[in-house]
A and B are shown apart, each in its own frame.
Chain A
Amino acid sequence: MRRVETRIVFTWLAAVALFTFAPLFAQQRVEEEDLPEPDLWEEAIPTYVEAEKVFNSRSQPDSLLLFDEFLRQVQANRAIEEPPDEIHRLLANSHFYRAQVSFNLGRTDDVEADLAQLLQIEPGFAMDRTLVSSKFAELFDRIKKQRIGSAIFVVDPPDAEISVGRWKAGPDGVIQLPIGTHVVTIERPGYSSAEQEVAITATDARTFEGKLERLAAVLTVYTAQEDAEVTLDGRPRGATSPYPGAEPSQGSRLVLDDLQPGTYELGVRKEGFRGYLARAQVADLRDYVVGPIELEPMSGVVVLRDLPPGTAVRANGEITTPEFAAGSPPRLTLPPGDYRLALSHPDLGLYEADVTVTDQETETIPVRLRPPIVLLGVLGGDQQSAERLQSLLETGLGSLERWALIERTSVGAPILAAAGVEVRGLRAFAQAGSRQAIPWDRIRSEADQRAKGALYLLAVLADDLLASSAHVFVFPQAPLPARPDLIDVALTEQDVAWLKLLLDASVIVERPALGAVLVDARTGSGPLVVHVSEGSSAHSSGLRPGDEIIAVEDTAVSSADQVSDALAARVESHARTGRIVPLRVRSIEGEREVALGFSTSPVILGLRDTGVLYSAAAYQLQAEAQNTASLVPKWVVGLNQAVIHLRGGDLQSAIRGLREVRAPEGARLGQGMADYLLGLALTSAGGEYAATAKEFLTKAAADSEARLHHADGPFVAPRARARLRVLN
């Protein structure tokens, strides 16, 4: 089984998308369907049905025209092909009904004509006498007696078929035929056939005898499925079909009547089903029966590993229910073929994969649902550039790790129109920082309604005539802050790749925490330690102000950046194991080695980070906050969320969140930052909160070791003191 994981997700992935566009799909499907050639006789049947319906109503005479029309259609078609038996039956019925109508109207000539034609078509026609008047029955009997006679055949073997064309004898050997001379055929599979000329008269029923010679064995192959191809010794012998008198549930059959004694390899096959192969022993010239053979449908299994409960699964657009067996992951059993599996979960997002299912093979797909990011369109007059950027975005963002991209470019313009925003307004907002207020809440609300996604991406070309760049707005679903991230993107793969990096960036990260302020003073050969925080790993390892770091684990360093990089490169290998990093340092006392105990610190978003898309971060953090199994400290999530609320101007949420944050007291990164942010938020909240703001900023200003964003981040205290100036 071959599986191709789909990383490009631009079609109708989302459940919402499928729902919204279902009617369109249905229409498309009908248009594209290959319709079969029209059946001449099928088209005539509705006329008959309608005529029969009218016949059974109060306006019975009106049925005459309809039966006439049916008979006319049949007559016309007869020029093209001979009617099947079913049509003959309807023809006979039509004449029978017409005769009844004419009888009721007193048109005796017409009655006789119809009954005569009826018997010409169906000499053995038998009517339900309870449904007709006795006079009509008498008339029918009279006409039949005048036109139809019968013969009795006694044949060996007794189950041989006695027929004249489509007229057949009953089990008692009696065959009814129009008066005259007929050639009767006697035949049976495996036997010779015989013909007998018989003269039918109105007065008596003569008896005839016949005997057929056995020529071959007969093998009747029954299959549960219709149209199964039968082979003998590898040679095709025909396909099974429903046989007269059998219900569809009884299957189909193929009679092979030319077998001589011997051993045969019997094969049965049908597309989509596993083949059947058996040895058939024909001992002598008798009748043999095989079956019914029930062919097993071909199927492969797709195991959906880590499929969260409540996930809707569609295979090529059709809702498919996975099988859940105790102790094993959910699985789909599908006929062989190529499938696009689209999985959607109302909270966890989407996943899509292309799978080729092969019979009797199992493929496992690790399901990783990703929240949908909806591309709302590239707007602007330069159509060529718009198409280019859209193509770049679809290609470049198709392989996002964290998000499933959904292309809904048709809704971008309607969303703006509904929100009362013009493209030029967005452009002016982005380019000149104009005063024009953009109703982001309304835009977002429209997007939530028309193309529900976790995140939205809307691009506006920088120019209508000749655009080489675009302003890309990214905003999250409600109720996250509606304020968008704005990124200017040149119409290049590199810029779109950078946008992808931003979207995929994780907001929950850790960095090494040294606990020392290093500066590149250019007074020595390595970075200079100008401050060591008490209780930090730098402090406990004996690093002191005035030390110059000259090597990290035997690698010479000449800048603080290089020290950071060297430590960052050891996060994976050292952070969890508490390993030591040897530092070579130089001071006025000479060189020495310092054993630095490796430690890390969470990173909290800055208010103005360029390497972060706050919209994407907001969504990530929301999911993290709801993840009860997460090991990430709640205060880290809470502080990050507060930063996002502050940046988005949602002071109320920021303040509420910060008041609930229980960050570590006395740590370099912790309560000091929370107090500072709370002071900032309260300062912005207005004069009535000034006293409280002052209280928190004063507290932050007193924490001389508190840092922002990271344990080695900027000092909180001087910033808090500066902010206090506003309040003082």
Chain B
Amino acid sequence: MIRRALSAALLAGGALLLGPIVAQQESAARRLLLEAQRLEREGKVDEARTEYELLIQRFPDEPEAERAQLALAEVYWEAGEADRSRMQLDALISSRPDSPAAAAAWVLRGRFLVEQAANRAELAEAQTPFRRVPVLFGAGEYPQLGVRAEARVRSGEVGLLLGEPELAALDFLEAIEDENRSPWRPRALYGFARSLLAQGYRVAGADTLQRVLEEPDADEPLRRDAAIDLAFLHRQWIRPSLGQPRWTTARVVGVELRKPQKIAVSRDGRILVWDDGQSQVLLLSADHEIVSRSPQTQVRDLWWSPAGEPFVAVADAVVGLASGTRQQLAVAGASVRDVGAAATGVLAETFVIARDRKALIVFDRRSGAQTLSATAGDIVDLAVGPKGELLLLDRRKSEVSIIGLDGASGGGFTGSWRRPQALAVDASGNVLVLDGGENRIEIRDAAGERAGVIGPALPGGIELRSPEDIAVDGAGRLYVVDSRLSQLIVLE
């Protein structure tokens, strides 16, 4: 297979030119590297680490040493030794500042910072190493440097999280037009499409998404993401622009339910339903097949994290269904005893409404807890929007309020709902509010303007009687659970 020279492989040869002694050294360095990589692949991380360290110590001037330093930094990071990881990267960057390996180290440093970021400021700081790579390792001096494309794409992705689609678009565009073709191109195209859509360029965004599907190197998850976004555009843009309803059909999912109370749907259509009647949480595939049933009572909320993991909140804890982890919720040593609703944010933080404290609390990825609002007693539901913003539904005030990624208030809107009881946000920021009193769902656009209502009568003759919760997936399908109908209804 023909490939463009892409990777920052540091196994450059040339042994014969250096004479037999050096050739022997290179060979030993390479052998050590291969051995360390083998151990790492086999999960023998400690042994691998020893080999990497030995390689760096014995052959500090060989190209393999740079690669070992990168690998070691990653191993330390995975082991939770962030400082040692950073030390390796710093050593590499300072000892070989002009080496392509240093560019890779900058990217690795950025990745670690992104994974660690607990707030918008830290996220913005994490973007810096990525941005530094094209500056320090320009195409003029390093025309074949593949890691530069990765740096641009990762910078763009952080830019999107930061709500800066225009800057992100430039990062992605530079990765597409200014860099050699690389495995990062499909991801750059997808990021560019998302940044165009975020700026409201729907035609160009849709066109670019389609090009992602046609990219020969695009992997399956990326194709799926692009297809989901295109389906969303069809429902949320093309249909309304032609005077058609967003959802033209409604159908009942053929799963036996008694008294469904809560629902959450992942971006790719996987469903979590809490059936109070059966005291269990059901996990359905995107094809609506039952994948698992988990006995649960007193479920307060269900949700999917942005990374696609299912979570359940009970009165005093959050349970990760995929990992089986249970996080007891406590603030300053005091337990939370009455969770009302919860969600995971884009920085892997968990937002919790603590009814016993009438507070909105955020638990960040470093296990820190912080009270965002001490007057959140009437918040009945919350959701995370496409820009990382947090939306809160206040039943008493009949209001949706928004907190931006930076923690600042981002506005909101009120409604004349009789009994607002659930909230959902779609991929373009449209907000759906379930009014249990009227058995209908009101749609507000991203600016809070009323954009439509659906219910109680749904297409196809179904009539909502006691809708309990709503959800939307990435493709814009609307899901409703109705406890009186004992049904899960999908609007497409």
Is there contact, CB below 8 Å, between B142 and A433? yes
Report if B28 contacts A (CB, 8 A).
no
Number of cross-chain contacts by CB at 8 Å: 186
With contacts A432-B10, A434-B142, A521-B234 taken as known, whether A471 is within 8 angstroms of B208 at the C-beta atoms is no
B217: nearest chain-A partner, CB-CB:
A610
Residues of B within 8 A of A461 (CB): 13
- Within 8 Å by CB of A495, from B2, B9, B17, B176, lies B2
Q: What is the bound-complex CA distance between A519 and B475, given in angstroms?
A: 14
Is there contact, CB below 8 Å, between B204 and A488? no
Report if B309 contacts A (CB, 8 A).
no
- Within 8 Å by CB of A522, from B16, B146, B176, B231, lies B231
Q: What is the bound-complex CA distance between A691 and B278, given in angstroms?
A: 69
With contacts A424-B14, A718-B196 taken as known, whether A433 is within 8 angstroms of B235 at the C-beta atoms is no
Residues of A within 8 A of B235 (CB): 523
- Within 8 Å by CB of A433, from B8, B181, B207, B238, lies B8
Is there contact, CB below 8 Å, between B204 and A717? yes
Q: What is the bound-complex CA distance between A422 and B492, given in angstroms?
A: 63
Q: What is the bound-complex CA distance between A433 and B214, given in angstroms?
A: 28
Could you say which of A134-142, A160-168, A195-203, A720-728 contacts chain B?
A720-728
Q: What is the bound-complex CA distance between A437 and B142, given in angstroms?
A: 8
Residues of A within 8 A of B143 (CB): 433, 483
Is there contact, CB below 8 Å, between B169 and A546? no
Is there contact, CB below 8 Å, between B177 and A607? yes
Report if B312 contacts A (CB, 8 A).
no
Q: Give the interface centre of B201, B207, B227 by most chain A CB atoms within 10 Å.
A: B207
Q: Mark A214-225, 1 if CB is under 8 A from B, else 0.
A: 000000000000
Q: Mark A464-499, 1 if CB is under 8 A from B, else 0.
A: 110100010000000000010011111000110011
A residues 677-727 near B (Cβ < 8 Å) are 680, 714-715, 717-719, 721-723, 725-726
Residues of B within 8 A of A715 (CB): 201, 203-204, 207
With contacts A431-B11, A521-B231, A523-B235 taken as known, whether A722 is within 8 angstroms of B173 at the C-beta atoms is yes
Is there contact, CB below 8 Å, between B13 and A424? yes
Nearest CB of A to B187, in Å: 15
Residues of A within 8 A of B204 (CB): 714-715, 717-718
Report if A517 contacts B (CB, 8 A).
yes
Report if B140 contacts A (CB, 8 A).
yes
Report if A429 contacts B (CB, 8 A).
yes
Q: Mark A409-451, 1 if CB is under 8 A from B, else 0.
A: 0000000000000111001111111110100000000000000
- Within 8 Å by CB of B230, from A487, A488, A522, lies A522
Report if A74 contacts B (CB, 8 A).
no
Q: What is the bound-complex CA distance between A495 and B145, given in angstroms?
A: 23
Is there contact, CB below 8 Å, between A517 and B210? yes
Residues of B within 8 A of A270 (CB): none
Is there contact, CB below 8 Å, between A495 and B142? no
Residues of B within 8 A of A680 (CB): 177
With contacts A432-B8, A471-B5, A530-B238 taken as known, whether A519 is within 8 angstroms of B15 at the C-beta atoms is no
Report if B242 contacts A (CB, 8 A).
yes
Is there contact, CB below 8 Å, between B239 and A546? yes
Is there contact, CB below 8 Å, between A381 and B16? yes
Is there contact, CB below 8 Å, between A495 and B173? no
Report if A649 contacts B (CB, 8 A).
yes
Is there contact, CB below 8 Å, between B181 and A608? yes
With contacts A431-B9, A465-B15, A546-B242 taken as known, whether A531 is within 8 angstroms of B206 at the C-beta atoms is yes
Report if A518 contacts B (CB, 8 A).
yes
Report if B458 contacts A (CB, 8 A).
no
Is there contact, CB below 8 Å, between B203 and A530? yes
Nearest CB of A to B268, in Å: 12
Report if A528 contacts B (CB, 8 A).
yes
Q: What is the bound-complex CA distance between A610 and B206, given in angstroms?
A: 23
Residues of B within 8 A of A258 (CB): none
- Within 8 Å by CB of B169, from A430, A499, A609, A722, lies A722
Is there contact, CB below 8 Å, between A528 and B234? yes
Q: What is the bound-complex CA distance between A488 and B242, given in angstroms?
A: 49
Is there contact, CB below 8 Å, between B207 and A714? yes
Nearest CB of B to A662, in Å: 24
Is there contact, CB below 8 Å, between B5 and A431? yes
Count the B residues whose beta carbon is within 8 Å of the partner chain — how many? 69
B476: nearest chain-A partner, CB-CB:
A523
Report if A170 contacts B (CB, 8 A).
no
Residues of A within 8 A of B181 (CB): 608-610
Q: What is the bound-complex CA distance between A471 and B178, given in angstroms?
A: 21
Residues of B within 8 A of A431 (CB): 5, 7, 9-12
Is there contact, CB below 8 Å, between B203 and A531? yes
Report if A588 contacts B (CB, 8 A).
yes
Q: What is the bound-complex CA distance between A463 and B145, given in angstroms?
A: 19
Report if A560 contacts B (CB, 8 A).
yes
Residues of A within 8 A of B63 (CB): 432
Q: What is the bound-complex CA distance between A328 and B239, given in angstroms?
A: 69
Q: What is the bound-complex CA distance between A404 and B214, given in angstroms?
A: 35
Is there contact, CB below 8 Å, between A561 and B2? no
B167: nearest chain-A partner, CB-CB:
A725
Is there contact, CB below 8 Å, between A434 and B100? yes
Report if A462 contacts B (CB, 8 A).
yes
Is there contact, CB below 8 Å, between B142 and A435? yes
Is there contact, CB below 8 Å, between A423 and B17? yes
Residues of A within 8 A of B99 (CB): 434-435
Residues of B within 8 A of A718 (CB): 169, 196, 199, 201, 204
B residues 72-129 near A (Cβ < 8 Å) are 98-101
Is there contact, CB below 8 Å, between A726 and B170? yes
Q: What is the bound-complex CA distance between A161 and B100, given in angstroms?
A: 101
Is there contact, CB below 8 Å, between A722 and B207? no
Residues of A within 8 A of B231 (CB): 521-523
Q: What is the bound-complex CA distance between A722 and B204, given in angstroms?
A: 13
Q: What is the bound-complex CA distance between A279 and B16, given in angstroms?
A: 79
Is there contact, CB below 8 Å, between A518 and B13? no
With contacts A433-B146, A495-B2, A719-B173 taken as known, whether A518 is within 8 angstroms of B210 at the C-beta atoms is yes
B168: nearest chain-A partner, CB-CB:
A722
Report if A520 contacts B (CB, 8 A).
yes
Residues of A within 8 A of B144 (CB): 429-430, 432-433, 486
Nearest CB of A to B289, in Å: 19
Q: What is the bound-complex CA distance between A490 and B1, given in angstroms?
A: 6
Report if A545 contacts B (CB, 8 A).
yes
Nearest CB of B to A428, in Å: 5
Q: Mark B221-261, 1 if CB is under 8 A from A, else 0.
A: 00000010011011100110110100000000000000000
Nearest CB of A to B210, in Å: 4
Residues of B within 8 A of A435 (CB): 98-100, 137, 141-142
Residues of A within 8 A of B100 (CB): 432-435
Is there contact, CB below 8 Å, between B4 and A714? no
6 tightest A-B contacts by CB?
A424-B14, A433-B145, A433-B144, A381-B16, A722-B169, A521-B234
Provide 10 A-B residue pairs closer than 8 Å at the C-beta atoms, listed in order of the A residue: A424-B14, A431-B5, A431-B7, A432-B9, A433-B5, A517-B210, A519-B206, A520-B213, A545-B241, A680-B177
Residues of A participating in the B interface, judged by any CB pair closer than 8 Å: 380-381, 422-424, 427-435, 437, 461-465, 467, 471, 483, 486-490, 494-495, 498-499, 517-523, 528, 530-531, 545-546, 560-561, 588, 607-610, 649, 680, 714-715, 717-719, 721-723, 725-726
Beyond A545-B238, A725-B167, 17 additional pairs, beta carbon < 8 A: A381-B13, A381-B17, A422-B17, A433-B100, A435-B137, A463-B11, A464-B14, A495-B1, A517-B207, A519-B209, A530-B238, A531-B206, A546-B242, A588-B242, A715-B203, A717-B204, A718-B199
